Amino acid sequence: MRHLILAFLCLTTSISYAQLAEYERKLTCGKTKFVLEALSKMAKEKIIWAGYSKYSDTQTVVMINTETLTWTVVQYDKDMACVLNNGEGFKIRDKDSE
């Protein structure tokens, strides 16, 4: 299901490439409302962490689905959102487990 959602996002959004060190990373970007709604409704992921950068005037969020253990990191502004990374499998650590 997760791969289907990402394929759908790739087909319906623009794709940009960012040069990072000696390798390329493909970013999937699209309209903020569409990207966040697709992850929320189709992947059933919920935001568990959000941060704001005044330097780039963007929000960065971590979204997870506790049933499927999928996660996505998204950076966005009012118009455009980009999926920075995603995966399967995670565990939430509390401050006592360090």
CA gap 17, 35 in Å, rounded: 18
Domain regions of the chain by residue span: 2-88
CA gap 74, 36 in Å, rounded: 8
Task: Give, in order, the Cα–Cα distances in Å from 50 to each of 61, 75, 93.
Answer: 4, 10, 17
The tens digit of pLDDT for each residue in 38-71 reads 999 999 999 999 999 999 999 999 999 999 999 9
CA gap 33, 55 in Å, rounded: 22
* pLDDT number for residue 93: 84
- Show Cβ contacts of residue 41 under 8 Å, excluding neighbours closer than 6 positions: none
Instruction: Give bridge partners of residue 23 from the DSSP assignment.
Output: 20
* pLDDT number for residue 32: 96
At 80, is the pLDDT very low, low, confident or very high (cuts 50, 70, 90)? very high
